[in-house]
Amino acid sequence: MHATRQRLLDAGLPMLLKHGYNDLGIQALLEATGTPKGSFYHHFRDKEAFALEVIDQYMRMVHEGLDACLGDESLAPLDRVRRFFETTQEKYRTEGYMGCLLGGLGQELSGVSDVFRRKIDWCFAEIADRIARCLEAARQRGDLPADSDVRKLATLLIDCWEGAALRSRLRRDPAPLGAMLDFYFRSAVGASAA
Protein backbone atom coordinates (compact mmCIF):
# COMPACT_ATOMS: atom_id res chain seq x y z
CA MET A 1 0.00 0.00 0.00
CA HIS A 2 1.20 3.50 -0.77
CA ALA A 3 2.98 5.09 2.22
CA THR A 4 0.98 8.34 2.12
CA ARG A 5 -2.32 6.47 1.97
CA GLN A 6 -1.32 4.28 4.92
CA ARG A 7 -0.11 7.29 6.91
CA LEU A 8 -3.49 8.98 6.42
CA LEU A 9 -5.38 5.82 7.47
CA ASP A 10 -3.14 5.32 10.51
CA ALA A 11 -3.72 8.93 11.63
CA GLY A 12 -7.42 8.76 10.79
CA LEU A 13 -8.19 6.00 13.29
CA PRO A 14 -7.27 7.87 16.50
CA MET A 15 -8.67 11.11 15.08
CA LEU A 16 -12.02 9.47 14.30
CA LEU A 17 -12.06 7.91 17.76
CA LYS A 18 -11.38 11.28 19.39
CA HIS A 19 -13.39 13.65 17.20
CA GLY A 20 -15.97 11.49 15.48
CA TYR A 21 -16.82 11.73 11.81
CA ASN A 22 -18.50 15.13 11.69
CA ASP A 23 -15.75 16.88 13.66
CA LEU A 24 -12.89 15.23 11.79
CA GLY A 25 -11.42 18.01 9.71
CA ILE A 26 -9.59 16.94 6.58
CA GLN A 27 -7.26 19.92 7.03
CA ALA A 28 -6.36 18.77 10.55
CA LEU A 29 -5.68 15.27 9.21
CA LEU A 30 -3.46 16.70 6.46
CA GLU A 31 -1.54 18.85 8.95
CA ALA A 32 -1.11 15.92 11.36
CA THR A 33 0.38 13.80 8.60
CA GLY A 34 2.21 16.47 6.61
CA THR A 35 0.19 15.57 3.53
CA PRO A 36 -0.75 17.97 0.74
CA LYS A 37 -4.49 18.31 0.10
CA GLY A 38 -4.21 16.92 -3.41
CA SER A 39 -2.66 13.73 -2.07
CA PHE A 40 -5.72 13.04 0.08
CA TYR A 41 -8.04 13.26 -2.90
CA HIS A 42 -5.65 11.19 -4.99
CA HIS A 43 -6.10 8.32 -2.52
CA PHE A 44 -9.71 8.84 -1.37
CA ARG A 45 -12.77 10.00 -3.28
CA ASP A 46 -14.04 11.95 -0.28
CA LYS A 47 -14.25 11.96 3.51
CA GLU A 48 -16.87 9.19 3.52
CA ALA A 49 -14.67 6.88 1.42
CA PHE A 50 -11.75 7.66 3.75
CA ALA A 51 -13.77 6.85 6.91
CA LEU A 52 -15.05 3.60 5.39
CA GLU A 53 -11.46 2.55 4.71
CA VAL A 54 -10.49 3.44 8.27
CA ILE A 55 -13.30 1.11 9.41
CA ASP A 56 -11.86 -1.62 7.17
CA GLN A 57 -8.43 -1.13 8.73
CA TYR A 58 -10.00 -1.21 12.22
CA MET A 59 -11.75 -4.46 11.35
CA ARG A 60 -8.47 -6.01 10.21
CA MET A 61 -7.09 -5.23 13.67
CA VAL A 62 -10.22 -6.65 15.33
CA HIS A 63 -9.87 -9.86 13.30
CA GLU A 64 -6.19 -10.11 14.27
CA GLY A 65 -7.24 -9.86 17.93
CA LEU A 66 -9.98 -12.44 17.40
CA ASP A 67 -7.50 -14.77 15.67
CA ALA A 68 -4.98 -14.44 18.50
CA CYS A 69 -7.48 -14.96 21.32
CA LEU A 70 -10.08 -17.30 19.86
CA GLY A 71 -7.41 -19.42 18.20
CA ASP A 72 -5.53 -20.06 21.45
CA GLU A 73 -6.45 -23.69 21.99
CA SER A 74 -4.51 -23.82 25.25
CA LEU A 75 -7.54 -22.07 26.78
CA ALA A 76 -11.10 -23.31 27.12
CA PRO A 77 -13.43 -21.66 24.56
CA LEU A 78 -15.20 -19.43 27.11
CA ASP A 79 -11.81 -18.26 28.41
CA ARG A 80 -10.76 -17.44 24.84
CA VAL A 81 -13.84 -15.27 24.36
CA ARG A 82 -13.26 -13.47 27.64
CA ARG A 83 -9.57 -13.02 26.79
CA PHE A 84 -10.53 -11.23 23.55
CA PHE A 85 -12.62 -8.70 25.45
CA GLU A 86 -10.01 -8.26 28.18
CA THR A 87 -7.38 -7.64 25.51
CA THR A 88 -9.71 -5.12 23.88
CA GLN A 89 -10.24 -3.46 27.25
CA GLU A 90 -6.46 -3.09 27.63
CA LYS A 91 -6.30 -1.50 24.17
CA TYR A 92 -9.00 0.96 25.21
CA ARG A 93 -6.93 1.79 28.31
CA THR A 94 -3.86 2.65 26.24
CA GLU A 95 -6.04 4.87 24.03
CA GLY A 96 -7.52 6.77 26.98
CA TYR A 97 -10.83 4.87 27.04
CA MET A 98 -12.02 6.32 23.75
CA GLY A 99 -13.92 3.07 23.19
CA CYS A 100 -14.90 1.25 20.04
CA LEU A 101 -14.64 3.00 16.69
CA LEU A 102 -17.65 1.05 15.42
CA GLY A 103 -19.76 1.99 18.43
CA GLY A 104 -18.76 5.65 18.29
CA LEU A 105 -19.38 6.04 14.56
CA GLY A 106 -22.53 3.94 14.79
CA GLN A 107 -24.00 6.23 17.42
CA GLU A 108 -23.00 9.32 15.48
CA LEU A 109 -23.97 8.28 11.97
CA SER A 110 -26.52 5.44 11.97
CA GLY A 111 -29.46 7.85 12.00
CA VAL A 112 -28.15 9.95 9.12
CA SER A 113 -26.19 7.59 6.84
CA ASP A 114 -27.43 4.26 5.53
CA VAL A 115 -23.95 3.59 4.15
CA PHE A 116 -22.38 3.78 7.62
CA ARG A 117 -25.32 2.07 9.33
CA ARG A 118 -25.08 -0.94 7.02
CA LYS A 119 -21.28 -1.08 7.17
CA ILE A 120 -21.12 -0.93 10.96
CA ASP A 121 -23.97 -3.40 11.40
CA TRP A 122 -22.12 -5.80 9.08
CA CYS A 123 -18.92 -5.35 11.13
CA PHE A 124 -20.72 -6.19 14.38
CA ALA A 125 -22.30 -9.23 12.69
CA GLU A 126 -18.83 -10.41 11.60
CA ILE A 127 -17.52 -10.14 15.16
CA ALA A 128 -20.60 -11.89 16.56
CA ASP A 129 -20.13 -14.71 14.03
CA ARG A 130 -16.55 -15.29 15.17
CA ILE A 131 -17.58 -15.27 18.83
CA ALA A 132 -20.55 -17.57 18.15
CA ARG A 133 -18.21 -20.13 16.60
CA CYS A 134 -16.10 -20.15 19.76
CA LEU A 135 -19.23 -20.36 21.93
CA GLU A 136 -20.30 -23.32 19.80
CA ALA A 137 -17.03 -25.01 20.71
CA ALA A 138 -17.90 -24.34 24.37
CA ARG A 139 -21.35 -25.85 23.80
CA GLN A 140 -19.81 -28.92 22.15
CA ARG A 141 -17.51 -29.38 25.18
CA GLY A 142 -20.45 -29.20 27.54
CA ASP A 143 -19.43 -25.80 28.95
CA LEU A 144 -22.79 -24.46 27.74
CA PRO A 145 -26.10 -26.37 27.68
CA ALA A 146 -26.82 -28.34 24.52
CA ASP A 147 -29.81 -26.09 23.73
CA SER A 148 -27.82 -22.82 23.99
CA ASP A 149 -28.40 -20.38 21.15
CA VAL A 150 -24.77 -19.37 20.64
CA ARG A 151 -25.67 -16.71 18.06
CA LYS A 152 -27.94 -14.98 20.58
CA LEU A 153 -25.31 -15.28 23.31
CA ALA A 154 -22.66 -13.75 21.00
CA THR A 155 -24.94 -10.90 19.94
CA LEU A 156 -25.89 -10.20 23.56
CA LEU A 157 -22.21 -10.06 24.50
CA ILE A 158 -21.48 -7.49 21.79
CA ASP A 159 -24.54 -5.42 22.67
CA CYS A 160 -23.57 -5.37 26.35
CA TRP A 161 -19.93 -4.63 25.53
CA GLU A 162 -20.83 -1.65 23.35
CA GLY A 163 -23.01 -0.17 26.09
CA ALA A 164 -20.25 -0.64 28.64
CA ALA A 165 -17.72 0.86 26.20
CA LEU A 166 -19.88 3.98 25.92
CA ARG A 167 -20.11 4.28 29.72
CA SER A 168 -16.37 3.71 30.00
CA ARG A 169 -15.74 6.48 27.46
CA LEU A 170 -18.05 8.87 29.30
CA ARG A 171 -16.26 8.20 32.59
CA ARG A 172 -12.74 7.61 31.19
CA ASP A 173 -12.81 4.62 33.49
CA PRO A 174 -12.56 0.86 32.83
CA ALA A 175 -15.01 -0.12 35.59
CA PRO A 176 -18.09 -0.51 33.32
CA LEU A 177 -16.17 -2.86 31.01
CA GLY A 178 -14.94 -5.12 33.80
CA ALA A 179 -18.33 -5.14 35.52
CA MET A 180 -20.05 -6.06 32.25
CA LEU A 181 -17.68 -8.96 31.58
CA ASP A 182 -18.09 -10.26 35.13
CA PHE A 183 -21.87 -10.01 34.88
CA TYR A 184 -22.05 -11.63 31.44
CA PHE A 185 -19.82 -14.58 32.22
CA ARG A 186 -21.40 -15.12 35.65
CA SER A 187 -25.04 -14.52 34.65
CA ALA A 188 -25.65 -14.99 30.93
CA VAL A 189 -23.12 -17.73 30.33
CA GLY A 190 -22.76 -19.04 33.89
CA ALA A 191 -26.51 -19.38 34.40
CA SER A 192 -26.93 -21.17 31.08
CA ALA A 193 -24.04 -23.50 31.96
CA ALA A 194 -25.42 -24.31 35.40
Q: Comparing 22 with 98, which gets the higher pLDDT?
A: 22
- Among candidate residues 55, 184, 24, the one with its CA nearest the CA of residue 124: 55
Residue 5 burial (10 A CB sphere; 0-12, 13-18, 19+): middle
Output the pLDDT for position 82.
Answer: 97
Residue 172 burial (10 A CB sphere; 0-12, 13-18, 19+): exposed
What is the pLDDT of the chain when averaged over all its residues? 93
Given a cut of 50, whether residue 194 has pLDDT beyond it is no
Domain parsing of the chain, residue ranges: 46-193
Domain 46-193 listed as CATH 1.10.357.10 = yes
pLDDT digits (tens, 9 = 90+) for 90-103: 999 888 878 899 99
Given a cut of 70, whether residue 1 has pLDDT beyond it is no
Given a cut of 80, whether residue 189 has pLDDT beyond it is no
Three-state SS at 74: coil
pLDDT digits (tens, 9 = 90+) for 57-82: 999 999 999 999 999 999 999 999 99
- Among candidate residues 5, 138, 119, the one with its CA nearest the CA of residue 55: 119
- Among candidate residues 8, 21, 181, the one with its CA nearest the CA of residue 103: 21
